[in-house]
Chain A
Amino acid sequence: MDLIYEGFAKAVALLAALDREVLDITWLSLKVSGTATLLSLVFGITSGTALALANFPGKRLVVSAVNTGMGLPPVVVGLFVTIFLWRNGPFGSLDILYTPTAMIIAQAVIATPIVCGITVASIQNLPPNLRLQILALGATRPQMVWLLIREARLPLLAGVMAGFGGVISEVGASIMVGGNIKGYTRVLTTATVMETSKGNFDVAIALSLILLLLCFAINYLLTRIQQRERPR
């Protein structure tokens, strides 16, 4: 029990001191996962909307595949991104393995199916005639798609939360493609793994607390937006 108590005490001290290295790690986590989430929104909402509105044989199979992808194990993503970016892999010439860019790519790959799957469900949940109603109001196809996405904005915000929550807390892919290089690719999760394995529980607890606070703050913000959006 002492271990936990001391850990917490030291963690608070560390946080209070605004340790430079801890701040850098936190900032990088936010930057990498934030960028990855943004990318996943672009790809996920576009592909999810297209998938929800399109009609083609085998659609169910594709939707099932996307839904499976929502639970994609980060280590599997990490493995494949590593292979692709390996020196003599298909994209080896880019020379970006063990950089924050590689981490962004891996995290975007993890988050995109989450956003895509939630988008498909949100759009399909809209009343089937809404599409026709919007067209009957004189909308062009792009206007119609835009209005549908806007109409599904509240469940889509849940998709943003799920996507961001998924990537900020994942460690497998980040450690594989980032390498946990001090001052360069070290993020909150990879640092926590390392400190724990070294037995530095106090630092690990401090990092975990920051991670939790960060997740809470982002979700709180998004929830506020979601609630405010609903007019009284």
Chain B
Amino acid sequence: MNDAPNFLEVEQLTVARGGVPVIDIPRLSLAEGEVLSLIGPNGSGKSTLMLTLATLLPPTGGRIRCRGEAIDSDRARFAYRRRLAMVFQEPLLFDTTVFENVAAGLKIRRMTRGEIRSRVMETLELFSMAGFAERSASKLSGGESQRTSLARAFAIRPEMILLDEPFAALDAPTRLALTTDLERILTETGTAAIVATHDQLEALRLSTRMAVINRGAIVQGGTPAEVMNRPANEFVASFVGMENVLTGTVLACSQSVATVSLGGHAIELVGQAEPGESVIFCLRPENIAISTTDPAGVTSARNVIRAVVRKVIPMGIYNKIEIDCGFPLVAYLTSQSIDHLHLDPGKTVYASFKATAVHLLRRD
């Protein structure tokens, strides 16, 4: 235990609303610069937990420590709050210009005009919003508003940022663009972050660690691959969906197709990465075709892998089939196909999938 203390440590945290316990978290920590995603359905207590972590909602029990120091007095809470920033689902912008909005946290800290000017422009640049500085915040689109809100939070150079469903109200393309930018900015600035989301792909892209929350309790924590591939219980499994989340090393990359080594296989996927890099990628079970004969030459899929059937689990209208390719993979098949192919545990099959079916999630 001679490591430097985590940025944030939570012990035995409980929160009750109207006498009803809504949060009960025995332990939660966030290392310096770490990005943790908090995933769970609506009403699972994500927002309540985020507000409690920001000390904007008093807990009924337990303690929060920042770098080993207990946040237990008004003075400590205020000092701690000045080290963090929070972004909500709604942009909550002030009815003034974009510039003034981003300057808000700096003005609160009584920085000089010159410092404010350069810091605001620098932060707006980071979020590709520099051209919007003198615009009225009330005239921005949803995406621009949320960019401004994020810039306002990052402008104070927080040591930790709490993002409560920041993109939930945005349309898919805007959301994707913002997730990409946020991922880059979090990495560049090295800001520790907790991202609450109900979107697992967003969580996968942004975070190195995931915590699944349900009914105010963390039901599973771990790396995205752990949570996705080995859900701790039925709730997690049904919530995260059964994804094949895999980690491999890039062998080569040309013309936006990367070849990744995993379990003795070379898997081709669409994406840019440097050779030698470790990458996380995922493959939806429904995008994997299973056959009993080698489809090479018959299929247009770039990836064909020989595997052994481990388990067939009926799931109603379809069956989940777990195969071993030197790494575990899950595919979905209809009952008809299972019968037709005589898929029993131990049988040798070929799994094929297109390079475009593999999503490069992040580069580590």
Contact = CB atoms under 8 A, between A and B. Distances in A.
Task: Select the residue from A129, A137, A147, A232 with max chain B CB neighbours within 10 A.
Answer: A137
Contact of B78 (A129, A140, A230): A140
Nearest to A140: B78
A175 B139 CA distance: 49
Given A136-B56, A136-B81, A231-B96, 9 more contacts: A127-B90, A133-B86, A135-B56, A136-B162, A138-B82, A138-B105, A147-B94, A230-B138, A231-B97
A154 B108 contact: no
Nearest to B109: A138
Contacts of A132: 51, 54, 56, 86, 88
Contacts of B51: 132
29 contacts: A127-B90, A127-B92, A129-B92, A132-B51, A132-B86, A133-B88, A133-B92, A135-B56, A135-B81, A136-B54, A136-B84, A136-B86, A137-B104, A137-B105, A137-B152, A137-B156, A138-B109, A143-B108, A147-B104, A151-B94, A151-B95, A154-B95, A230-B95, A230-B136, A231-B96, A231-B97, A231-B136, A232-B136, A232-B139
A143 B156 CA distance: 16
A139 interface: yes
A226 to B, nearest CB: 12
Contacts of A138: 81-82, 105, 108-109, 156
Contacts of B105: 137-138
Contacts of A218: none
Interface of B: 51, 54, 56, 78, 81-82, 84-86, 88, 90, 92, 94-97, 104-105, 108-109, 136, 138-139, 152-153, 156, 162
Contacts of B108: 137-139, 143
Contacts of B92: 127, 129-130, 133
B291 to A, nearest CB: 53
A136 B160 CA distance: 11
Contacts of B84: 136
Interface residues of A, number: 19
Interface string A121-136: 0000001011011011
Contacts of A135: 56, 81
A138 B83 CA distance: 8
A147 B136 CA distance: 17
Interface in A160-197: none
A129 B56 CA distance: 11
Contact of A136 (B85, B90, B136): B85
Contacts of A230: 95, 136, 138
A112 B94 CA distance: 27
Contacts of B136: 230-232
B281 to A, nearest CB: 35
Contacts of A129: 88, 90, 92
Nearest to A139: B108
Contacts of A151: 94-95
Q: Which 9 A-B pairs have the closest CB atoms?
A: A136-B86, A231-B136, A137-B105, A138-B82, A133-B92, A132-B56, A139-B108, A138-B108, A130-B92
Contacts of B54: 132, 136
A232 B136 CA distance: 6
A231 to B, nearest CB: 4
A230 B96 CA distance: 7
Contacts of A232: 136, 139
Nearest to B88: A129
Nearest to A133: B92
A137 B104 CA distance: 8
Contacts of B78: 140
Contacts of A154: 95
B80 to A, nearest CB: 10
